[in-house]
Structure formats: structure tokens, C-alpha cells
């Protein structure tokens, strides 16, 4: 079953994120791909946080060869509408079927802070653009001989305030064609539940599948860094004290991720999870095994 | 004019008289909109829909709402010392009862209209006219 079919059925969905390497070799991607055989979709990041890496479309192609189902992230940071459309046509021609549309982090956080940010479109307009391409037209009005067949996804931040603005943006994304929504990593369940409650009141969870972000962390430093430095993240103080007092922080991080997954599975309205093992891809199978999600994909 | 179209195929003011008029009107706009609203002269004015705060002051120039990086306290991800423009817009839209205007998806910015007079563009029907009055509804969250 591919991701699209899983979304249409009632199955629990697991996607995971993979960062392409900062090199021209493909060996690393193939090695990393081995960790993701049990997930339904592998998100390939697009120069995340503005740090130059191998292109997400090329990495997705390699993952496809390794038998995974890639989801490419497309940001509006580096490309204008011409480049985005051309890249999307290219990706579709290479057999990539899933796309996650993002606005993208500002380049000042990356390794090229002096770069010119583009932001010709924003994520909502990008979703609308891909919907148009699925219907067979480019922005210029030109008809495509072969239309793309993308499954479109969007991102949501449940923690930023005001909540109204977040819900409104989510609504716009879904009404423009997003079929699945991935959230920021959840380290604050009460705040997340508050958001889910609002989403369910609006009935948005029936129109698009919500995949809650889960991030396993290795140390308390990673958590505090996330709380203080990464914009739009919220970390519950309990998580930090738990990590700080743990004897083996790595094990505690895994345990915390598994607990979060179990809590999220019980949350009504959540269709799946999105694992973000940042620079720690090898932990993915362990977490899936511990939360009894590993054998789910077998017939 | 349909606000919900994704884009426009407009080449902007091209005839001589149009460009001259645009220049004159832009000077007038600059005297008023730049000091009052911090206008960035995008030429497709959204002011009336964004509670009279110019959304183009966002570093990413988003036209459809805040990005995912807005901080907990409502500050901008790029400049932590100032408020996110969209945070302020949502706050003020609520205060003025204009939040229904934020519901529409704004179309992709036409860069041919950059640095032209938004007022003239309304006049020549390049962009939809501003919405001045919104009926207040009682039961609205
Ligand atoms: S014309 Fe554009 S930049 Fe100027 S105030 Fe209106 S929206 Fe802002
Ligand atoms: S936080 Fe607000 S002002 Fe800053 S880039 Fe994002 S949307 Fe724009």
C-alpha cells in the first residue's frame, strides 16, 4: 500500500524525516534508507534551516531506487515560481508522488545568512499551485500534456499563538488541496491537545490526515536548545526535568518518544505520526519496534 | 474582480500616461502610506484586509498569514526583538471585528505591479478595491 492508499484507508500512518548529506556521494543516503524500511513515507528535507545539502529531489530518487516511498519537501525560500514548477515537473517525471509544501526557514539561520531570500510564493499559494498542476495547468495558463499526480501535504505549528491564526492557515491549506498535515514535534501534550480540540471543532481532521510530529532527543541540551533557539517550538518543563535527571539520556529520550507516540495514538483526530530523528536516523526502527508499529506494514 | 484567483496575467501600467500617472500617484501614496503604515510599495494593497497593518513588512513578505516560526510571545522568527506582523494583524483584526476578511486566500503577488500606485491599480481594475466596512456579527469567535 502506498501513502495515498493508506491515507484513504483507515490505517495508522507513520512517516519519518531524513536529511540528505552535505556531500556529492549517494552512499550515505542508501545507508540511511535501510533505517526507514518500516515507514510509509520518508520526508526528504529541502536544505533544512538554510544549510546547503544534496537536493531533496535527487535524494528522493535514490530512496525510490532503494524501495522507499519518498515525500519531498519543497520550500519557497530558494526558488521562484519558474524554478518550483520546473522542479516539480522533473520530480513527477522521476516517479515522485508526494510533496510537502513549506514556506521555509529564513536563511539567516543557515550557513549562508547573506543569501537573498526569495519567497515568491508562500506555502498556501504553493499548495494551490500544485493543485493546479495536478489539474493540468501551469501558472502561465499553459496546459500540461501529462498532469502531475501529487499527493499534497502541508505543515502546521500547533504551538504558536494566536491559535486563531494557526487554525485559519490550516483551513486555507486544506481548502487549497492539502491532504495530509504534519505538525511540529510535540513536547507539550496539553498545548497540542488544545490545538487538536480546535481542529476537531472545525472538522478539519476529516478533510486532511493529521500526522503529529515526534522527535526523539539524545540529551537535555538538545531540548533546551530547541526551546530557546528554534522558533515556534514549545517544550514542556516536565520533559526537560525528566531528561536532566535521567541516568542514560539516550534511553530516556527513546522512552519519552515512545510514550508520546502512545499518547498520540489515543488522541482522537490523529491519523498518524511523523518521526523526526534529527541526525539520529538509526533510532527509527528501535522506536517503531518499541511502540509496536514495526510490523504494521507487513501483509 | 475575483479575489480568489491564484494569480493574474497583468503586465502592469505600460502606456506612457499610465506610467506617468502611476508615478505621480505613487509619490502621493509614499507621503501618506509609508509613514503611516510602513508601506513597502507592493502595488497590490491588502491594507484593508489586514486590519490596516501592512503585511509586506514581514521579512518573508507573506500575504496569507503568519509563518510557522512565530515565537511563543508573538515575536518574529527572523527579528526576535520585534512582533510578528501577522500576530499584530490578527490581534487588531479581532479588535476591529474585521477577522472575516482574513479568510480569503490571497493570490500570488504580481511583481509587475511592484512599485506602482496601488490606488491607480484599483482605479484601473488591476486589483480588487479595498473593503472598507465589514458587517459585525454578534456570534463570532
Ligand atoms: S501597497 Fe502593499 S506594501 Fe503598501 S501598504 Fe499596501 S499591502 Fe503594504
Ligand atoms: S514570524 Fe511573522 S513577521 Fe516573522 S517571518 Fe514569520 S510571518 Fe513574517
Every domain of chain B and the residues it spans: 9-44+110-130, 46-106
Percent of chain A with pLDDT over 70: 98
CB contact under 8 A, B68 and A103: yes
Regarding predicted confidence, which is higher, A141 or A128? A128
Band (pLDDT 50/70/90 cuts) for residue A299 is very low
- Residue A77 to residue A105: CA distance in whole angstroms: 7
- pLDDT of amino acid A250: 87
If you take atom 6 of ligand 2, which residue's CA is the nearest one? Answer: B67
Report the predicted TM-score, pTM, of the whole model to 2 decimal places: 0.92
For A119-141, what is the mean pLDDT?
92
B89 lines ligand 2 (CB under 6 A): no
Q: How far is the CA of B78 from the centre of ligand 2 (A)?
A: 7
Q: Mark B79-109 as b/e (b = at least 16 C-beta within 10 Å).
A: eeeebbbbbbbbbebbeeebbebbeebbbbb
- pLDDT of amino acid A228: 83
Band (pLDDT 50/70/90 cuts) for residue B60 is very high
Question: What would the pLDDT profile of A137-157 be if each residue is shown by its tens digit?
Answer: 998 888 999 999 999 999 999
- pLDDT of amino acid B104: 86
Q: Counting ligands in written order, which one lies closest to the CA of residue A166?
A: 2
- pLDDT of amino acid B1: 33
B51 lines ligand 1 (CB under 6 A): no
Burial of A249 (0-12, 13-18, 19+ CB in 10 A): buried
A120 grid coordinates: 515568491
For A90-107, what is the mean pLDDT?
93
Q: Which of residues 130-189 of A touch B (CB under 8 A)?
A: 132, 139-141, 155-157, 159-162, 164-166, 168-169, 171-172, 175-176, 184
CB contact under 8 A, B87 and A161: yes
Q: Mark A47-75 as b/e (b = at least 16 C-beta within 10 Å).
A: bbebeebbbbbbbbbbbbebebbbbbbbb
Q: Any alpha helices (H) in A176-248, and if so which ranges?
A: 189-202, 220-229, 237-245
Whether the predicted pLDDT of B140 surpasses 70: no
Whether the predicted pLDDT of B141 surpasses 60: no
For B76-86, what is the mean pLDDT?
91
Question: What would the pLDDT profile of A14-25 be if each residue is shown by its tens digit?
Answer: 999 999 999 998
- pLDDT of amino acid A141: 85
CB contact under 8 A, A184 and B65: no
- Which atom of ligand 2 is nearest the CA belonging to B85? 3
Question: What would the pLDDT profile of A152-172 be if each residue is shown by its tens digit?
Answer: 999 999 988 788 889 999 999
If you take atom 8 of ligand 2, which residue's CA is the nearest one? Answer: B58
- pLDDT of amino acid B136: 62
- Options 3.30.70.1560, 3.40.50.2000, 3.20.20.220, 1.20.1270.10; CATH for A3-290 is 3.20.20.220
Among A164-178, A259-273, B9-23, B24-38, the least confident range: B9-23
Whether the predicted pLDDT of B2 surpasses 60: no
- pLDDT of amino acid B85: 93
Question: What would the pLDDT profile of B93-119 be if each residue is shown by its tens digit?
Answer: 989 888 888 888 888 999 988 888 998
Whether the predicted pLDDT of A108 surpasses 80: yes
A117 contact partners, CB below 8 Å, separation of at least 6? A77, A106, A107, B59, B60
Whether the predicted pLDDT of B3 surpasses 80: no
- Which atom of ligand 2 is nearest the CA belonging to B77? 1
B67 lines ligand 1 (CB under 6 A): no
B70 lines ligand 2 (CB under 6 A): yes
B64 lines ligand 2 (CB under 6 A): no
Cross-strand bridge partners of residue A71: A43, A98
B12 contact partners, CB below 8 Å, separation of at least 6? B43, B110, B112, B113, B116, B126
CB contact under 8 A, A168 and B102: yes
Q: What is the ipTM of this complex?
A: 0.90
CA distance B105 to chain A (A): 7
- pLDDT of amino acid B137: 58
For B54-67, what is the mean pLDDT?
92
B112 contact partners, CB below 8 Å, separation of at least 6? B10, B11, B12
Question: How do beta strands A13-18 and A270-275 pair?
Answer: parallel
- pLDDT of amino acid A245: 87
Q: Chain B partners of A122 at a C-beta cutoff of 8 Å?
A: 60, 62-64, 67
Domain edges within chain A: 3-290
Q: Counting ligands in written order, which one lies closest to the CA of residue B77?
A: 2
The pLDDT mean for chain B works out to 85
Q: How far is the CA of B104 from the centre of ligand 1 (A)?
A: 17
CB contact under 8 A, B70 and A121: no
Question: What would the pLDDT profile of A30-55 be if each residue is shown by its tens digit?
Answer: 998 988 888 899 999 999 888 999 99
- pLDDT of amino acid B138: 52
Q: Angle, to 10 degrees, between the axis of helix B85-96 and the axis of helix A163-175?
A: 100
Q: Any alpha helices (H) in chain A, and if so which ranges?
A: 3-8, 27-33, 56-65, 81-93, 123-134, 163-175, 189-202, 220-229, 237-245, 249-266, 284-290
Amino acid at each position: 500500500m502506498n501513502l495515498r492508499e493508506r491515507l484513504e484507508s483507515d490505517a495508522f500512518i507513520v512517516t519519518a524525516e531524513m536529511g540528505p548529506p552535505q556531500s556529492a556521494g549517494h552512499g550515505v543516503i542508501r545507508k540511511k534508507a535501510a533505517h526507514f524500511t518500516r515507514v510509509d513515507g520518508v520526508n526528504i528535507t529541502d536544505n533544512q534551516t538554510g544549510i546547503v545539502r544534496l537536493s531533496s529531489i535527487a535524494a528522493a530518487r535514490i530512496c525510490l531506487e532503494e524501495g522507499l516511498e519518498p515525500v519531498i519537501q519543497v520550500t519557497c525560500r530558494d526558488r521562484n515560481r519558474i524554478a518550483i514548477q520546473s522542479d516539480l515537473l522533473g520530480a513527477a517525471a522521476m516517479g515522485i508522488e508526494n510533496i510537502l509544501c513549506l514556506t521555509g526557514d529564513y536563511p539567516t539561520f543557515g550557513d549562508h545568512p547573506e543569501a537573498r531570500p526569495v519567497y515568491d510564493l508562500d506555502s498556501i499559494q504553493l499548495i494551490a499551485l500544485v493543485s493546479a498542476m495536478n489539474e493540468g495547468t501551469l501558472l502561465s495558463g499553459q496546459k500540461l500534456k501529462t498532469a502531475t499526480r501529487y499527493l499534497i501535504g502541508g505543515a502546521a505549528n500547533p504551538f504558536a499563538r494566536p491559535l486563531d491564526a494557526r487554525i485559519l492557515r490550516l483551513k486555507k491549506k486544506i481548502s487549497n488541496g492539502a491532504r495530509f498535515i504534519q505538525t511540529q514535534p510535540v513536547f507539550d501534550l496539553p498545548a497540542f491537545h488544545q490545538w487538536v480540540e480546535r481542529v476537531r471543532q472545525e472538522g478539519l481532521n476529516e478533510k486532511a490526515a493529521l500526522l503529529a510530529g515526534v522527535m526523539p532527543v539524545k540529551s537535555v541540551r538538545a531540548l533546551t536548545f530547541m526551546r530557546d533557539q528554534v522558533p515556534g517550538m514549545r517544550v514542556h518543563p516536565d520533559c526537560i526535568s525528566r531528561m536532566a535527571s535521567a541516568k542514560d539520556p539516550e534511553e530516556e529520550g527513546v522512552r519519552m518518544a515512545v510514550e508520546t507516540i502512545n499518547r498520540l495514538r489515543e488522541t482522537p483526530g490523529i491519523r498518524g505520526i511523523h518521526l523526526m530523528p534529527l541526525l539520529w536516523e538509526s533510532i527509527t526502527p528501535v522506536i517503531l519496534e518499541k511502540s509496536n508499529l514495526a510490523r504494521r506494514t507487513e501483509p | 474582480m475575483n479575489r480568489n484567483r491564484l494569480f493574474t496575467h497583468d503586465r502592469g501600467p505600460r502606456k506612457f500616461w499610465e506610467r506617468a500617472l502611476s508615478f505621480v500617484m505613487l509619490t502621493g501614496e509614499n507621503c501618506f502610506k509609508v509613514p503611516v503604515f510602513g508601506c513597502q510599495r507592493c502595488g497590490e494593497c491588502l491594507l484593508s484586509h489586514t486590519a490596516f497593518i501592512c503585511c509586506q513588512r514581514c521579512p518573508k513578505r507573506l500575504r496569507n498569514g503568519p509563518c510557522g516560526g512565530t515565537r511563543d510571545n508573538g515575536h518574529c522568527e527572523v527579528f526576535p526583538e520585534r512582533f510578528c506582523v501577522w500576530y499584530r494583524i490578527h490581534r487588531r483584526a479581532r479588535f476591529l471585528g474585521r477577522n472575516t476578511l482574513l479568510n480569503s486566500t490571497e493570490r500570488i503577488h504580481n511583481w509587475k505591479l511592484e512599485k506602482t500606485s496601488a490606488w491607480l491599480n484599483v482605479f484601473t481594475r488591476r486589483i480588487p478595491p479595498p473593503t472598507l466596512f465589514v458587517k459585525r456579527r454578534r456570534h463570532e469567535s
